Amino acid sequence: MAVHDIPMFGVAWPNPASFGCGSIAGIGDRLRRLGATRVVLASDAGLKSAGLVDRVAELLAAAGLHVSTYTGVSPNPREAEVEAIHSLWETEACDSVVALGGGSTIDAVKGACLRRFTGRSLDSLFDEGIHEAPREPLRFVAVPTTSGTGSETTLGAVLKTPRRKLVLRSEHLRPTFTILDPELVLTLPPRATAATGIDVLMHALGVLTSNRPHPLGDMVGAEAMRRAAGHIRRAVENGKDIEARSEMMLASYLAGHGIHLKGVDAIHGLSTPVESLTDCTHADSLGVIFPHVMRFNMPVAGARYAWIARMIGIAGPDEADDRAAAALIAHLVALRDHFGMPSRLGALGVQPSMVPELARQAQLSAATKGNPRALDAAAAAALYEEMI
């Protein structure tokens, strides 16, 4: 590629992060250096039962920080959970917040951050846009305990209100600091490891096929794909494999950064409406949708899929593009099936009567607009009908 062929692009790097086994031990000192004195610690009931919430609370208290804890975040974070975190933040006069958990907890805290500096409802923020900026430091620390969503590095949050599931984005939603400690995911069950691992692969795939050109986005997307594809089975089959866990955590982080730089494709664009109208998990909807969108994209993205297949070693260097691309789809489908994930939208609660609304919502998604092949409402409806 000649220099003049490189597209114009911008770069915004994530805020600081620390990566490494045992890095959680420095959380109290890090918050102290940010100027924190009173902390909201948000998490979920599972991590509370596992003892991790108490462990982190003790680390914070040992640094002289006052800690107020909320452990009510659900797998599909709802507006009520966002409001509960925001209310605790306000009533306890806290000056910082820690999101300890997977993407659901990190997104719920992002929602609370939005409530804190805008004062508006989530639906209002989606309908009218986010124009406000924080008047004081948010001091938002993310501690992911899964390897999948990449929310620890993105500027978006996926949240559910009584009206819909929505994606909110603001440059002010990136965590101030992120702690990536692979030891925190060693006890994640195989099913959750598989689900979040599929999410990493779909993020990387979406970054690499998005129609928004960005050479650095391609670089981090490719590295995320290479690491995730090479280690997802090991992480699922042996949760104590610290090398595999480390690679998946780093892949998640890199893919999240790729999303910020390039966005993703219609796999995610068609997934969010499904999660809006049902209560299925993000990974299950992605798992059903991806092969159908990939086949739809083949006339435009087949060569890109072939390149990915060769990069991760499932197609030879001399294999024809159509065969290599088909091998990538087959490989990813085999992974999904091996992990016991659903293959039809009907199993997730989707009914044929929902198709018009699903197709309508899909057209609102930036991810759908970023698909390598144009996908209008009629095409989206046909894909949904095919997937039920």
Contact (CB, 8 A) for 43 and 71: yes
pLDDT tens column, 75-126: 889 999 999 999 999 999 999 999 999 999 999 999 999 999 999 999 999 8
Within the chain, which residue ranges are assigned CATH 3.40.50.1970? Answer: 17-185
Q: Please give the CATH number for the structural domain made up of 191-387.
A: 1.20.1090.10
**Per-residue confidence at 4, pLDDT binned at 50, 70, 90?**
low
Which CA distances in Å does 119 have to 83, 173, 266, 286?
11, 15, 32, 33
pTM assigned to the model: 0.93
Does the structure show a pLDDT above 80 at 258? yes
CATH class of the domain comprising 17-185: alpha beta
Does the structure show a pLDDT above 70 at 232? yes
Q: Please name the helix (run of DSSP H) or strand (run of DSSP E) that holds residue 220, with its range, or none.
A: helix 215-237
pLDDT tens column, 238-254: 999 999 999 999 999 99
Query: How far, in Å, CA of 204 to CA of 68, rounded?
Result: 36
Q: How many Cα atoms sit within 13 Å of 227 on the Cβ side?
A: 24
pLDDT tens column, 310-359: 999 999 999 999 999 999 999 999 999 999 999 999 999 999 999 999 99
**Per-residue confidence at 39, pLDDT binned at 50, 70, 90?**
very high
Does the structure show a pLDDT above 70 at 2? no
Q: 156-160 and 165-169 as β-strands: parallel, antiparallel, unpaired?
A: antiparallel
Tell me how far the alpha carbon of residue 34 is from its chain's centroid. Answer: 26
Token representation of residue 107: 């997104």
Within the chain, which residue ranges are assigned CATH 1.20.1090.10? Answer: 191-387
Q: How many Cα atoms sit within 13 Å of 191 on the Cβ side?
A: 5
Query: How far, in Å, CA of 240 to CA of 280, rounded?
Result: 28
